[in-house]
Amino acid sequence: MQASKEKPGWLALGTMRDPDIQLKSGGFELMMHWNGIDDSDWPFARVLASVASHYCGPMQTQAADAMIERLYKTKSLVRARDLGGNAGSTMRHRLTATAGQCRIQLLADGARWHTLSASVTVNAAGR
């Protein structure tokens, strides 16, 4: 783990796809750039579940995977525009879920290669 060169105040985890994380007193943000077609061993769900367990209560990787799967099934907030070739089509999916004492906001934004992010906030009652 080291300081992110691209995002001041964030930590780069140094795993496949280089997810970045910013820890806060009331939660955290997690972000990574992801290829939505053929990456199978990406760490986003594992990191989300591990860190969320500290803030929210126990969370299994399977629960994080299920949230992410629901995210991609939501209707896109932007009209798909084919970028041609291997670039894919534009999309923006957003999902808000709860886990234990936390609210988790997921966002997938881009095209085939896109940014996947989670903003996790401890509910006021859980602080």
CA of residue 12 relative to chain centroid, distance: 14
Is the model's pTM score more than 0.85? no
d(CA 71, CA 64): 11
d(CA 127, CA 55): 9
d(CA 13, CA 43): 10
Segment 45-93, tens digit of pLDDT: 888 999 999 899 999 999 999 999 999 999 999 999 999 988 889 999 9
**pLDDT of res. 127:** 45
Segment 97-117, tens digit of pLDDT: 999 999 999 999 999 889 999
Q: For residue 5, with 0-12 CB atoms within 10 Å meaning exposed, 13-18 middle and 19 or more buried, which class applies?
A: exposed
